[in-house]
């Protein structure tokens, strides 16, 4: 695999693939999380300046193939990727991880957006938010009968009716069991990321008959080739 690829990352799978790429490849991160310093490929950090900026980067760097391995909820960068490759005249391959599916006994409720989520939380007292930083913008709106726990990348000082835990996956089943028990979680809020590394919380919710509110997945644009798992993408890339 000697073509010059640009890998859009920010996920476990992207990092795994980046570890296999040589110095002709570029691994791109938005800059919100950790930046690895032990890769053989080039690493760049920060936005490109929309689809136009990405198309310019592709042209200037002589990129021949764009790989979109961003998170399923990172809809903006995936939309930019699909537009940029049309402008630049190259192909985009994407990893489109399937969402989790409920099993017997699961009480999963899908919500469209933050307003839908707030409505669905009515009647619960101890929600556990595991969908990133968005709840932090709403800490002043916590109803009097609720105490929130927000788990996201960076923790903060506790507030009268909220705890903000800083943590990074993968999360173990035992750890999640302990967390639900300690918090008395009565509802779990999550994105439907489909990632194995964050799946144990769903099993614990099932064991404890805790309902799960899932933020609906955004629509992602079609690209030249879509893969549902990393192994298939790797095979096509290195064949």
Q: Which residues bind ligand NAP (CB under 6 A)?
A: 8-11, 28-30, 32, 47-50, 53-54, 70-71, 73-77, 80, 132, 191
Residue closer to ligand NAP, measured from CB, 222 or 239: 222
- Residue 79 Cβ vs ligand NAP, minimum distance, rounded to whole Å: 8
Shortest reach from residue 46's CB to ligand NAP, in Å: 6
Q: Which is nearer to ligand NAP, 168 or 208 (CB)?
A: 168
C-beta closer to ligand NAP: residue 112 or 239: 112
Nearer to ligand NAP, 26 or 179 (CB): 26
Q: How far is the CB of 123 from ligand NAP (least distance, A)?
A: 26
- Which neighbouring-strand residues pair with 119? none
Q: Determine the residue with CB nearest ligand NAP.
A: 47
Burial class (CB in 10 A: 0-12, 13-18, 19+), 184: exposed
Write the CB contacts of 110 (distance below 8 Å, at least 6 apart in sequence): 213, 214, 215, 216
Residues 203-238, buried b or exposed e (16+ Cβ, 10 A)? ebbbeeebebbbbebeebeebeeebeebeebbeebe
């Amino acid at each position: 695999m000697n073509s010059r690829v640009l890998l859009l990352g920010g996920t476990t799978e992207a990092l795994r693939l980046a570890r296999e790429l040589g110095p002709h490849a570029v691994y791109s991160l938005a800059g919100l999380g950790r930046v690895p310093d032990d890769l053989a490929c080039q690493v760049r950090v920060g936005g490109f300046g929309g689809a136009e900026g990405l198309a310019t980067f592709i042209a200037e760097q002589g990129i021949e193939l764009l790989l979109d391995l961003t998170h399923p909820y990172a809809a903006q960068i995936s939309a930019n990727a699909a537009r940029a490759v049309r402008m630049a005249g190259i192909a985009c391959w994407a990893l489109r991880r399937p969402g989790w599916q409920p099993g017997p006994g699961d009480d999963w409720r899908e919500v469209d957006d933050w307003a839908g989520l707030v409505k669905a939380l009515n009647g619960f007292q101890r929600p556990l938010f595991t969908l990133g930083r968005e709840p932090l913008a709403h800490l002043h709106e916590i109803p009097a009968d609720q105490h929130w726990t927000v788990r996201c990348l960076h923790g903060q000082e506790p507030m009268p009716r909220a705890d903000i835990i800083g943590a990074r996956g993968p999360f173990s089943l035992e750890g999640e069991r302990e967390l639900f028990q300690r918090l008395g979680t009565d509802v779990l809020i999550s994105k439907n990321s489909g990632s194995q590394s964050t799946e144990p919380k769903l099993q614990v919710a099932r064991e404890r008959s805790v309902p799960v509110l899932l933020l609906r997945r955004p629509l992602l644009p079609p690209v030249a080739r879509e893969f549902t798992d990393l192994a298939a993408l790797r095979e096509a890339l290195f064949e």
